[in-house]
Chain A
């Protein structure tokens, strides 16, 4: 039996003889492996990005949405019952539920904001001061409006940084008057920067929003902060029971509201981005398959071209498995070299994408290992048939081949 080091040397020599051909064959694998590594890495980055965003919303936060409304027997989807949550519901939660720390009712509408000759369309959110606690947010300058402002329905607001950037050039926004739907509001403060454009927001007292913006007493949703992430489920239960009582829902009837746990949302989003990553990677692995077919093609050509060499080797005593191994090693070396270069290429591409998209695209050691193993498997799989063919040549025919 021939020793492995020798087989490897023979394979490397054969690859060196046709440098350009070997390189082009490898290119298929390089692109395939590179694409898989890059896609997995970018996908991982996207997942992390989404996770971070959700975490910044607060992982111990529950959201209460109006439920589905039944009108004349036809049931609408979630949120169709826009008139099921009231400000009183929101106010009742904190005292009645022991696992709840803070509650923020939310009324939001898109509206055009005008300051001087500048204007900007953004989301106007009517809420209470506890909104900042729930979202673990703070004001960078000035102050948040107070509960008194909420009780009085004052025309005051707090701006997100994006709104400030778009309306104010150099002036200090604090104390300025902005107009929302022609109603003047005094700017009390500016929120700290939260990023990924959660800063495109204006906060006003919830009572003011009801009066000036929506013209009714219903609210869009309630954000509820649980004591801790662990107590999230308990808080959810308490809020559900309370609202069922308040809405006088009988035991055999469905809720007219929905309570969503952020942790559930997080895992749902994570699930979907994982599926997306998998999808991208499987598309990329198609090109790896194409690369493998390229290897098979070239190996078949190579076997034909080197029929005489195979004949000589067999004449001096090479057994079928020696020839098989020689060509198999050649195919595997091609695909592994391609795999290594492809991994570096993939890392480069993912870093570039990370740089351009301002994401963190982390190296995934598992993906790199997987790509490496996968390229070896491709080499064995697509190299086997040509190698088998070489090994089964008749030495007499092979020696006569010109």
Chain B
């Protein structure tokens, strides 16, 4: 039991939208062992967001139980949930969700501020987390001075800083180009190798391929739950990518061996000349 970071037992959740009731989750059960990297997929309205909110201790189910790290989080009140989020969970969002006009380091310190950690220790742990995402040099920058990829890395550093049992990443690559997405996935894979459990929600099958296990939601139920025999390795792809861009500079060609990897530069705007 204690080896499961998440243990969900026949959980249901119904929302009222005006007069009609929406059954967002119907009798969902799943166990996620500690140290696993799970991708959650499904179309909009499939219940995956509701599921994430429940795992993230932002909401509570109508029926069923949820254990996080062996602790029952099913029926906690607002403040208790806030405390659990603060200690056990790191959030990474699609739109980065950083505080603009607040320096990088203070953004990372935020969970520690609410944990009541002393200022010295806050600073030190924030720097440490920033180092893990490879942005140690940007500690004093303002958020607005960073690129999207860098902002997402700051967000990951923030999710790490409280040494959580679980990182919940909701479409973390949704606003990023392919190459940056792979860089972000490389960080998640590295953190996962260090023992942190990661649950990742994504639309893109390419991104889900980086996880060890894919869980598919549809109409409030888990319709598919399979182990990826051979997850993609983001580090290896970055090495290949670098080699390729050095040899093919300025001459974008299709890479025949890959399923749907676009040219790494295609997402980055290049000015008016469109081919």
Contact = CB atoms under 8 A, between A and B. Distances in A.
A314 B53 CA distance: 13
Given A13-B102, A319-B79, A319-B83, A313 B58 contact: no
A184 interface: no
B113 interface: yes
Contacts of B111: 316-317
Interface string A136-175: 0000000000000000000000000000000000000000
Contact of A317 (B53, B98, B99, B115): B115
Nearest to B59: A396
B116 A316 contact: no
Contacts of B125: none
Interface stretch (B85-93, B181-189, B194-202): B85-93
Nearest to B158: A316
Contacts of A3: 113, 116
A100 B93 CA distance: 94
B13 to A, nearest CB: 12
Interface string A267-310: 00000000000000000000000000000000000000000110
A2 interface: yes
A20 B114 CA distance: 30
B82 A317 contact: yes
Interface in B72-106: 78-79, 82-83, 85-87, 91, 93, 97-99, 101-102
Interface residues of B, number: 26
Contact of A2 (B53, B78, B91, B114): B114
Nearest to A316: B111
A399 B92 CA distance: 12
B110 interface: yes
A314 B116 contact: no
A399 B91 CA distance: 11
A17 interface: yes
A321 B101 CA distance: 23
Given A315-B58, A318-B82, A2 B113 contact: yes
B58 A316 contact: no
A323 to B, nearest CB: 10
Interface residues of A, number: 23
A79 interface: no
A318 B78 CA distance: 10
Among B91, B102, B114, residue most surrounded by chain A Cβ atoms (within 10 Å): B114
A92 to B, nearest CB: 87
B79 A399 contact: no
Given A316-B110, A316-B111, A316-B158, A399 B97 contact: yes
Contacts of A316: 85-86, 91, 110-111, 114, 158, 162
Contacts of B162: 316-317
Given A13-B101, A399-B93, A399-B97, A319 B59 contact: no
A113 to B, nearest CB: 77
Nearest to A306: B99
B115 A17 contact: no
Nearest to A308: B97
Nearest to B91: A315
B112 to A, nearest CB: 9
A362 interface: no
Contacts of A396: 53, 58-59
B116 A315 contact: no
B31 to A, nearest CB: 24
A233 interface: no
B170 to A, nearest CB: 9
Interface in A315-329: 315-322
Contacts of B97: 308, 311-312, 315, 399
B252 to A, nearest CB: 34
A312 B154 CA distance: 14
A317 B93 contact: no
Given A312-B97, A312-B99, A317 B116 contact: no
A322 B158 CA distance: 19
A13 B100 CA distance: 11
Interface of A: 1-3, 6, 13, 17, 308-309, 311-322, 395-396, 399
7 contacts: A3-B116, A312-B97, A312-B99, A314-B82, A318-B114, A319-B79, A396-B58
